[in-house]
Amino acid sequence: MTIFRALLLGGSLLATPTLALADDQALAMPDGIFSVYGGYSMAHIQSDELVYGGGQKLSELNWESKYVSIFTVGLSADVDKSWTVKGDVDIGTGGDGHMVDYDWLYGPDAWSERSIHPDTRLDHYFSADIQVSREVYKDMQSTLSLGAGFNYSDVKWTAYGGSYVYSTFDFRDTVGNFPDGEKGISYRQKVPVGYLTVNGEHKIGQWTLGGSLRGGMSFGIEDIDDHWMRDARFYDSMEIAPMLGATITADYAINDRASLYFSGSFDRVFRADGDMRMTDTTGATPDASYSDAAGASFQAMSIGFGLKGTF
């Protein structure tokens, strides 16, 4: 009977508030330990990609997608009276993408070449976050906690078709269009971030208003840039860069176990520079490496809603 009860305890923690131990001593599982939530939001995601040479900016690519559909699932657990562990995953799809590619061949005063790509598609967007926080203040209506967390984001775009202005024989003397649907450039960013956070909540009737401020740094953006028409691939590794973020939430309690929430968030990893490695994807020429030749930044904003259940 002792083994049976031990197995029952291990498999039923999420469903049963109390279980008998082998010595018939009750183990209480208080309500409200776990919260599971899922939601939907619309996001605006953008990244800047830069290339340097001789201390001057040679190229800048501005990637963005508006109205990206983000699907979120998450879990939080109160591990004791004051500590909370929270984790969630965001997956994005769709959206209205756009990319502009600028080059400076004759100095920094004005761009010499530009291509515009309205048919820019979001290949994938993924973000995972885990946070540990400790409650430092609580009264009947308000709580305040301090914490630390880690976030990892992975985003990729591909630009197709578009129009261009080139400086072939003279300044901006060539104008034309790429064939519709022709793959031009792909860009992928991997963004690991560590941060500290301040979180607060305040209850007003059935509403709970919350907010958090985050500050930290990226552990170096890694990106891959494919220029399909040139058979060239670039691998860039950025240095550490600062990040800032904020979230606001409003929860409406439907009953003791369920609530409807609304949220808005903003996160930015500021520009950092780094090294570049260029590869000929045909294998015809050897790789080439360049120090301090790359730059990148990342930003995401979203607004959405969802359901949360507590048990």
Which has the closest alpha carbon to 129: 75, 80, 165? 75
Q: Judge if 214 and 177 occupy the same domain.
A: yes
Q: How many domains does one find in the chain? A: 2
pLDDT for residue 177 is more than 50: yes
Label residues 151-161 b or e (16+ Cβ within 10 Å = b): bebebbbbbbb
**Same domain (yes/no): 5, 138:** no
pLDDT one-digit tens code per residue, 21-37: 333 333 334 556 899 99
236 shares a domain with 138: yes
pLDDT in tens, 229-251: 999 999 999 999 999 999 999 99
What CATH number is given to the structural domain containing 187? 2.40.128.90
Q: pTM score, two decimals?
A: 0.87
**Per-residue model confidence as pLDDT tens digits over 113-154:** 999 999 999 999 999 999 999 999 999 999 999 999 999 999
SS3 55: coil
pLDDT digits (tens, 9 = 90+) for 63-74: 999 999 999 999
* Residues 20 and 152 grouped into a single domain: no
Shared domain check, 169 and 156: yes
Q: What CA–CA distance (Å, rounded) separates 111 from 103? A: 6
Question: Could you list the residue range(s) of the whole structural domain that residue 15 is in?
Answer: 1-30
Judgement on whether residues 16 and 156 belong to the same structural domain of the protein: no
Same domain, 25 and 125: no
Average pLDDT over the chain reads: 91
Q: pLDDT tens-digit profile of 76-108?
A: 999 887 999 999 999 999 999 999 999 999 888
Same domain, 189 and 109: yes
What are the two backbone dihedrals, phi and then psi, of residue 267, each rounded to the nearest 5 degrees? Answer: -140, 135
Same domain, 138 and 232: yes
